[in-house]
Amino acid sequence: MAFDLGEDQHQIQDLARRFAAEKLRPHAGRWDEEHYFPVEVMREAAALGFAGIYVREDVGGSGLSRLDAALIFEQLSKGCISTAAFVSIHNMASWMIDTYGSADQRQRFLPELTPMRRIASYCLTEPGSGSDAAGLRTTARADGNSAYVLNGTKAFISGGGVSDIYLVMARTGEDGPRGVSTFVVEKGTPGLSFGKNERKMGWNSQPTAQVILEDCRVPAENRLGDEGMGFKIAMSGLDGGRLNIAACSLGGAAEALDAALDYSKTRQQFGKPIADFQATQFKLADMATEVEAARVFLYDAARRLDAKAPEATKHCAMAKRFVTDMGFKVANDALQIHGGYGYLRDYPVERIVRDLRVHQILEGTNEIMRVIIAREMLRA
């Protein structure tokens, strides 16, 4: 299956590649070590159109496709996986406002989000509801016609405590998915607070914290869509979110492969480069094949989502499962080729392995991806 990219797509790809090489890769190790959140650098990415990739142009978005987004995040993650992944989450939250928001909401929020003057987070997961997202317990009680009062806690929120905008899924009605609504909660709202910054295995260039809502009064005009639409909004965002995180895995794996290939040419053992040994050659060949297969799979799923194909959800889940599993495996193989040096923070493969591991968990675990795939197969 051939994917011949257009001239514009090659230019987008090259732009993201140069940005990653100049602005991300030289600093990624330090950001990881210092747990530094590079907001100003992300705003430079936003100036290139990377913070509103598939947001409409009238509010500052780039109006591009899901395939374009995959090309961008693949390249950005070759510079810094953690930072690229946060930009992808910001894009998902902005797209939700663009797609489901009223004309007033779009004009209020998006002209500040597309240049990343304000930063957005997505708040679905709770301490007691991860894979069972429809079982969320955060509540939103209507207080007359003018406001809702939110109570609950969201967990593992990228940007928690730092972001300016939080898209919160909360229960306004019955148990299950039909009782969920979506709210835009702005930082500084009374009753909104945050837990401690979580200590994580990877993704250290972005903060992660609980988002806590205690009698948090949100204006009714900040509800996104109708009551009861929240779960639909959350799930529709996840199709694209899964492609984005798969693209970040693909870029990280490709970066790890390049590092392993370069290292194998210079590392001497038994009087010759380890690249001369067939065991190394076979591993490199398998890694290259897996990366290329994942790239084709991802691009195909993105094109199906762009085309609004009926099977798009299944293919997004398949791509997320396959590409994130592949990404971690290839990065781990690259570390193995580096031997003991790969275990040291002096070499980037150690950070790549840590950053890619969580991709098999977030945006729906890969076990849940299998549930979605099987359900769609049996429904056909």
Question: Is 40 part of the annotated catalytic residue set?
Answer: no
Torsion angles phi and psi, residue 194, rounded to 5: -140, 150
In 3D space, the residue among 267, 293, 295, 291 whose CA is nearest the CA of residue 280 turns out to be 267
Token pair for 150: 């939110």
pLDDT of residue 134: 78
Give the model's pLDDT for residue 369.
96
Confidence at residue 3, expressed as pLDDT on a 0 to 100 scale: 64
What pLDDT, on the 0 to 100 scale, is given for residue 129? 83
Helix 7-19 vs helix 66-79: crossing angle, to nearest 10: 30
Catalytic member of 74, 255, 290, 363: 363
User: What pLDDT score does 1 carry?
Assistant: 45
In whole angstroms, what is the distance from residue 323 CA to residue 247 CA?
8
With tokens 């993650």, the residue in question is 77
The total of other beta-carbon atoms located within 10 Å of residue 21's CB is 13
Domains in the chain, please, with CATH?
A: 7-113 (1.10.540.10), 120-228 (2.40.110.10), 232-379 (1.20.140.10)
pLDDT in tens, the chain (380 residues): 446 789 999 999 999 999 999 999 999 999 999 999 999 999 999 999 999 999 999 999 999 999 999 999 999 999 999 999 999 999 999 999 999 999 999 999 999 999 999 999 999 999 988 777 778 999 999 998 899 999 999 999 999 999 999 999 999 998 888 999 999 999 999 999 999 999 999 999 999 999 999 999 999 999 999 999 999 998 888 899 999 999 999 999 999 999 999 999 999 999 999 999 999 999 999 999 999 999 999 999 999 999 999 999 999 999 999 999 999 999 999 999 999 999 999 999 999 999 999 999 999 999 999 999 999 999 97
pLDDT of residue 328: 98
Distance CA 204, CA 154 (A): 19
Given this model, what pLDDT does residue 128 score?
A: 85
Whole-angstrom Cα distance, residue 205 to residue 29?
A: 9
- What pTM was computed for the model? 0.95
Predicted local distance difference test score (pLDDT) of residue 351 = 98
